[in-house]
Amino acid sequence: MNVRERTEELEYEILSPHAAKSREARRSQPLEPCPFRTNFQRDRDRILHSKSFRRLKHKTQVYIVSGDHYRTRMTHSLEVAQISRTIARGLRLNEDLVEAIALGHDVGHTPFGHAGEAAMAELTGHFAHNEQSLRVVEYVEKDGEGLNLTWEVKDGIVNHSGKRRAKTLEGRIVHTADRIAYLCHDYDDSLRAGMLGPKDLPDRVVQVLGSKPSHMITGMVSDIIMTSMEQEDILLSPVMQEVMGDFRDFMFERIYHSAMLAHERQQAVFVLRELYEYFLHNFSALPAEFLQREERWGRQQTVVDYVAGLTDSYAVHLFNQIFMPPVGSML
């Protein structure tokens, strides 16, 4: 029995009967088994070493103009992974699966956060970052070959947001952990930015969760574990559902849709709109690896894949290179 087989056996001995088991994972293209890593561990590694994951370090979480200590889309994904693993361990579910889903859940996110997502939706008629994340791991990565992830990981990625629910309990953990992470950490960044103060929080949120982000996370995670224990679902208590709803409404009103960040959002939308239109009409200016995809996916989808995959800094660089005169440049 090798290392992987021993790990697979331990899953049946230790994990809940409701946990996903790596030995039973499905993959569209069969792989030669690894002697050391389970299916879900291999998926985690494939995501972690992908170009789309690396680019998350230069993609906005909330604050486009930020200092060294603000979250990026990458640090958000790492924080979602850690929160998810804590919940999974408490419920004896599969930590490797939640980690893979969490690391991959935002790889399809646009530059400039949700402002970029809204811009792409406006330009194309429909764009959702969870669907694009699935598209990235299935078709865009590895020069169009995709990462060949397991069905369980892909299901968790595409269903981490929206109304549809993941089939596995691990996928449902990531759905809730994502909300915990962005509420608490975006609030933390807003404190740092001077956009909010502890006294701004709704009274009900402070009464139940406190005003320190670390205490908030502990409260939410504890509630999920205690409420979901011995259940066949991932659940929040009625009180916590209400409080998280109040917290989310507060953050959307005061931060995500705030007038103070409106100018940044408008700038981001303008940059992406111009880049999208430019490459749609100057398709040959795309990198060679994308030109080859037109026959399979069509021109518009190929341009969407390219523009949505840009980092904030490279999107601005391209915009300046294409549209700004080289004033001050030396020949």
- Helices (runs of H) and strands (runs of E) counted in the chain: 17, 0
pLDDT at position 264: 87
Dihedral (Cα; 177, 183, 188, 193), 10-degree rounding: 140
pLDDT at position 68: 74
Give me the half-sphere count of Cα atoms (radius 13 Å) on the Cβ side of residue 119. 25
Tell me how far apart the alpha carbons of residues 72 and 214 are, in angstroms, rounded to a whole number: 18
Regions in the chain scoring below 50 on pLDDT: none
CB atoms within 10 A of CB 154: 25
Q: Could you read off the pLDDT of 15-33 as tens digits, one per residue?
A: 999 999 999 999 999 999 9
pLDDT at position 153: 98
Tell me how far apart the alpha carbons of residues 73 and 76 are, in angstroms, rounded to a whole number: 5
pLDDT at position 328: 67
Q: pTM, whole model, 2 decimals?
A: 0.96
pLDDT at position 331: 58
Identity of the residue numbered 198: P
pLDDT at position 329: 63
Cβ atoms of 263 and 110 within 8 Å: the answer is no
Q: Which domains does the chain have, with CATH numbers?
A: 3-20+38-262 (1.10.3210.10)
pLDDT at position 230: 87
Cβ atoms of 155 and 167 within 8 Å: the answer is yes
CA angle in degrees (0–180, nearest 5) for 141-286-157: 25
